[in-house]
Structure 1
Amino acid sequence: MSIMRRSSFSSSLRIFHTFLFHPRFFSYHVADEDRVYTSNSIIHPTSIVHPNAILGLGVSIGPFCSISSSAKLGNGCKLYPGSHIFGNTDLGDNCMLMTGAVVGDDYPGCTVIGSNNTIGYHAVVGVKCQDLKYKPEDACYLEVGNNNDIREHTSIHRSSKSTDRTVIGDGNLIMGACHIAHDCKIGDNNIFANNTLLAGHVEVEDYVHTAGATVIHQFCHVGSFSFLGGGSVVSQDVPKYMMVAGDRAELRGLNLVGLTRRGFTIEEIRSLKTAYRKIFMCGDTTAGSFEERLAQVVYILTAVRDMLQSIRNSLAKDRRGICKYRYWSGS
C-alpha cells in the first residue's frame, strides 16, 4: 500500500515538474516611436518579463529571470537561469548572461552593451558606482563594445557623473573577480587576469595584459602593448610597450614577449630597446636629466615615436608621472 502511494506521488510530482518547467512562447509587438518590434522568443514561465520590454528575434530566457520595462534585447540573446536585467539597459545581438548575472540598474542613466558579449556567472555589470560624490539623481552611464568575455564575479560600474562615461571597447577578456570602477576607459583586445582591480578614472589602451591580483590606482594611464606583473600595485602611468612589476610597480624593461606575439618586427624591437636604454638605463652622470635624455633619442620608426610621445604625455601636469625605474632594469 505504501509502495503504491509513493509511486502515485512520484508520478504526480513528475507531471507537476514537467508543467512548471516547460518553456512557453510569446510574440511581442511593441511600438517605439515610428518602429515596431516583433519577437518570437522562448520565455520560461517562472521568469518575469515586463510587457514593455523589447525583445529581438530568437531570444531565450531561462527560469527565474527578470527583465525591466525599459530593457531592449537584441536578436539571439540568451539568459541563463537566475540572471536579471534592470533599468534602462540595451543589449546587442547574441549576448549571453550566465546564471546569476546582473546587468543594469534602476538609477538614472543607462547601460549599453554591444553584440556578442558574454556576462559570466554572478557578474554585476552597469550598476551604480561606489564614489561617495555620486548623487542618486544624476544620470550615470556604461558603454560596452562587442565580443567581450566578462567572466564570473566581475563587477563593472557606471560613471560617477552625467558628463562622463565608463567605456569598454571590443574584444576584451576580463577574467574572474575583476573590478572596473566608475569612469574608466578601456580600449580593445586587453586581457585582465583574475582579481585585476581598476580604480576610478583609469585609462587602459589596447593589447594590455595584466597578471593576477594587479591593482591600478585611480587616474593612472596604461599604454598599449604593456604588461603588468602579478601582484603589481600600479600607482603611476605605464607608457606604451613597457613591463612593470612590484609594489609599488617599477619599470622592468620592454614587454618583449608581447611585442613579438603582436607582430612587431625585429627592427622595431631593436630600435625600442635602444631608445629604452638611452632613456632609462643610462648610468653616465654626464648624460643629462631625464628630459634631456628623452630629447636626445633619435627615431625613424613610428613605434619609437609612439613610445616617446606616451612618455611625454605621462609627464604632463595633469598626469601622475611614470612608474619608477632602476638603472639595472634590463630589456
Structure 2
Amino acid sequence: MMQGVSIGPFCTVGSAAKLGHGCQLHPGSHIFGNTELGEHCILMTGAVVGDDLPGRTVIGCNNIIGHHALVGIKCQDLKYKPGDECFLDVGDNNDIREHTSIHRSSKSSDRTVIGDNNLIMGSCHIAHDCKDYAHTAGAIVVHQFCRIGSFCFIGGGSVVSQDVPKYMMVTGERAELRGLNLEGLRRRGFTAAEEQNEELAHIPAVGSMVQSIRDSFAENRRGICKFRYWTSS
C-alpha cells in the first residue's frame, strides 16, 4: 500500500496506474494507462503521464514532471500500428520542465529511454525510440532519420541533417563537426589515456566511435556531419 501520497483536486489516476511512496500530484495533473511512478515523484499542474495504449510507461524515483508536460504518450511515427505495444523508461532524479513532450517507442521491439539526473528544459520534444547520453543546447533541430551518438554535444541553434558520431561536438546551421566533446567525456569519466593513447585501436571507447562512424555509412543512412575547424572569429 502506498504511503504519503498527495493527490490534488481535479486529478486523474487510472485504474492500472501504480504510485510509489511520497508521490505528489498537483491540481489538474493526470496519470493514464499502464504507468508506474517510483517514490517521491512530483507532477506539476497540467502534467500528463502515460496513455491508454498497449505497453507501459515506467518512471523512476525523485522525478519532477513540469507544468503541462506530456510524458509517455503515443508517438508521432506514421508507421506505428494501433494496437502495438510501446514503451517508455525514465530513470531517477530527472527535472522534466514545462511543456516538454516525451513519446513512447514506435514498435514493441524498441523503447524510448531517459536515464538519470537529466535536466530536460522547457518545451523540449524527445521523440520515439530515443536513447543514449547526449548533451544538447537550446533550439536545435534534428532530422528524423539522423542518429545522435552517445556522449556528443550539439551547440545551440544547430540544424542536424546527418548523423553525429559518438563523442563528437557539432554546431551550426547544417551542423558541422568541430572536434571531440573533450569536456563532456571528462565529466563522464573517460580518461586521458582513452583520448591520447597511441594504440587507439585497442581502446574500447575508440572502437565504439569507429563503429558508430561505420554505421552512419551503412545502407540507407545519411552519412555524418561534415568537419570544420574552429576559427578565432
TM-score (norm 1): 0.63
Looking at structure 2, the residues matched to 151 and 121 of structure 1 have their Cα atoms a distance apart, in angstroms, of: 7
1:157 is displaced (CA, Å) by 1.2
- The answer to whether the 8 Å contact 1:141/1:162 transfers is yes
Looking at structure 1, the residues matched to 204 and 54 of structure 2 have their Cα atoms a distance apart, in angstroms, of: 44
Number of aligned residue pairs: 231
- The answer to whether the 8 Å contact 1:259/1:269 transfers is no
Deviations along 1:259-318, one digit per CA (max 9) or x if unpaired, are 3444444444345xx9xxxxxxxxxxxxxxxxxxxxxx8545444333323322323325
Structure 2 spans left out of the alignment, 5+ residues: none
1:306 to 208, 220, 226: 208
Looking at structure 1, the residues matched to 109 and 206 of structure 2 have their Cα atoms a distance apart, in angstroms, of: 35
Q: Which has the higher contact order (CA 8 A, sep 6+)?
A: 2
Looking at structure 2, the residues matched to 181 and 174 of structure 1 have their Cα atoms a distance apart, in angstroms, of: 13
Q: Greater Rg, structure 1 or structure 2?
A: 1
SS at match of 2:173: coil
1:221 is displaced (CA, Å) by 2.3
- Supply the RMSD in Å over aligned alpha carbons: 2.4
2:185 to 243, 259, 267: 259
Please say if 1:176 is aligned against 2:176: no
- The answer to whether the 8 Å contact 1:251/1:329 transfers is no
> Hey, what does 1:227 align to over in structure 2?
153
Structure 1 spans left out of the alignment, 5+ residues: 1-37, 39-55, 187-204, 275-296
Q: Which amino acid aligns with 1:70?
A: A
Please say if 1:240 is aligned against 2:166: yes
TM-score (norm 2): 0.87
Whose helix proportion is higher, 1 or 2? 1
Aligned CA distance change for structure 1 residues 91 and 260 (closer, same or farther; 3 Å) = closer
Identity score, percent: 71
> Hey, what does 2:224 align to over in structure 1?
322
- The answer to whether the 8 Å contact 2:60/2:90 transfers is yes
- The answer to whether the 8 Å contact 1:211/1:229 transfers is yes
Looking at structure 2, the residues matched to 264 and 134 of structure 1 have their Cα atoms a distance apart, in angstroms, of: 38
Write out aligned runs for 1:57-136 (5 A).
57-136=3-82
Looking at structure 2, the residues matched to 173 and 319 of structure 1 have their Cα atoms a distance apart, in angstroms, of: 30
1:138 is displaced (CA, Å) by 3.1
Please say if 1:218 is aligned against 2:144: yes
1:177 is displaced (CA, Å) by 0.6
